[in-house]
Structure 1
Amino acid sequence: MKKFKQLAVCVSLFAAIGGVGAQDKTVVQDGISVTPLSRSRVLIPEAQLNEAAAQQYTQMMGEAQQKGALVPASHPEVRRLRAIAQRIIPHAPRWNQNASQWKWQVNLIDSKDVNAFCMPGGRIGFFSGILTQLKLTDDEVAAVMGHEIAHALREHSREKMAKQGMTSMGARVGGALISGIFGVDPGITGAVANQAGQLLVLKFSRNEEREADLVGLDISSRAGYDPRAGITLWRKMAALSKRAPIELLSTHPGGETRIKDMEEHMNVLLPLYARAKGTTAAKLPPYRTNVSLR
Structure 2
Amino acid sequence: MKRLLLSALLATLLVGCQQVNTTSGGTVGATRKQSMLLSSEQVDQMAATSYSDTIKKANQQGKLLPDNDPTVRRVRVIADKLIPQTIVFRPDAAKWQWEVNVEKSPELNAYCMPGGKIMFYTGIIDRLKLTDDEIAQIMGHEIAHALREHGRERMSSEYGKAIAMQGGMQLLSIATGGKYDAYQDLAGGGLNALVDVTYSLPNSRTHESEADLIGLELAARAGYNPNAAVSLWQKMAAQGGGSGPEFMSTHPSSNTRIAELQAKVPVVMPLYEAAKAKPATSLAPKKSNKTKSK
Into which bin does the TM-score normalised by the smaller protein fall?
A: 0.7 to 0.9
Whether the aligned pair in 2 keeps the contact of 1:71 and 1:108 (CA below 8 Å) is yes
Structure 2 partner of 1:71: 65
Using the alignment, how far apart are the partners of 2:64 and 2:11 within structure 1?
A: 41
Cα–Cα, structure 1 residues 21 and 46, in superposed 2: closer, same or farther, change >3 Å? closer
Aligned partner letter, 1:257: T
Aligned partner letter, 1:59: D
Whether the aligned pair in 1 keeps the contact of 2:112 and 2:118 (CA below 8 Å) is yes
**Residue deviations 1:1-52, cap 9 Å, x none?**
xxxxxxxxxxx847977996978x9x983332323241x22x2111121111
Structure 2 partner of 1:35: 31
**Residue deviations 1:163-212, cap 9 Å, x none?**
22254544314434xxx42xxxxxxxxxxxxxxxxxxx432111210110
Q: Which has the larger radius of gyration?
A: 2
Structure 1 partner of 2:264: 265
Among candidates 185, 196, 208, match of residue 175 of structure 1: 196
Cα–Cα, structure 1 residues 37 and 89, in superposed 2: closer, same or farther, change >3 Å? farther
Using the alignment, how far apart are the partners of 1:249 and 1:14 within structure 2?
A: 38
Structure 2 partner of 1:190: none
Structure 2 partner of 1:291: none
Using the alignment, how far apart are the partners of 1:104 and 1:30 within structure 2?
A: 21
Q: How does 1:135-146 map to 2 (within 5 A)?
A: 135-146=129-140
Using the alignment, how far apart are the partners of 2:196 and 2:147 within structure 1?
A: 20
Structure 1 partner of 2:252: 253
Structure 1 partner of 2:122: 128
Q: Give the RMSD, CA atoms, in angstroms.
A: 2.6
Whether the aligned pair in 1 keeps the contact of 2:82 and 2:219 (CA below 8 Å) is yes
Using the alignment, how far apart are the partners of 1:14 and 1:106 within structure 2?
A: 41
Displacement, 1:71? 0.8
Using the alignment, how far apart are the partners of 2:17 and 2:228 within structure 1?
A: 36
Using the alignment, how far apart are the partners of 1:81 and 1:252 within structure 2?
A: 20
Displacement, 1:256? 0.8
Normalising by structure 1, we get a TM-score of 0.75
Using the alignment, how far apart are the partners of 1:35 and 1:111 within structure 2?
A: 35
Displacement, 1:100? 1.2
Cα–Cα, structure 1 residues 210 and 14, in superposed 2: closer, same or farther, change >3 Å? farther
Using the alignment, how far apart are the partners of 1:239 and 1:223 within structure 2?
A: 27
Using the alignment, how far apart are the partners of 2:72 and 2:249 within structure 1?
A: 25
Displacement, 1:160? 1.2
Q: Which structure is higher in RCO with an 8 Å CA cutoff and minimum separation 6?
A: 2
Displacement, 1:151? 0.4
Among candidates 98, 108, 123, match of residue 102 of structure 2: 108
Structure 2 partner of 1:60: 54
Using the alignment, how far apart are the partners of 1:150 and 1:142 within structure 2?
A: 12
Secondary structure of 1:107's match? strand
Q: How many residues in Structure 1 have an aligned counterpart in Structure 2?
A: 242
Normalising by structure 2, we get a TM-score of 0.75
Displacement, 1:276? 1.1
Cα–Cα, structure 1 residues 28 and 267, in superposed 2: closer, same or farther, change >3 Å? farther
Using the alignment, how far apart are the partners of 1:154 and 1:29 within structure 2?
A: 10
Whether the aligned pair in 1 keeps the contact of 2:25 and 2:31 (CA below 8 Å) is no
Cα–Cα, structure 1 residues 202 and 271, in superposed 2: closer, same or farther, change >3 Å? same
Aligned sequence identity (%): 41
Displacement, 1:98? 2.2
Structure 2 partner of 1:87: 81
Secondary structure of 1:32's match? coil
**Residue deviations 1:260-280, cap 9 Å, x none?**
11111112111111111139x
Structure 2 partner of 1:240: 239
Q: Which sections of structure 2, spanning at least 5 residues, go unmatched?
A: 1-8, 163-187, 279-294
Using the alignment, how far apart are the partners of 2:268 and 2:83 within structure 1?
A: 17
Using the alignment, how far apart are the partners of 1:159 and 1:241 within structure 2?
A: 30
Using the alignment, how far apart are the partners of 1:15 and 1:241 within structure 2?
A: 46
Secondary structure of 1:74's match? coil
Using the alignment, how far apart are the partners of 2:56 and 2:195 within structure 1?
A: 15
Aligned partner letter, 1:33: G
* Runs ≥4 residues deviating over 2 A: 12-23, 27-31, 33-37, 166-171, 173-176
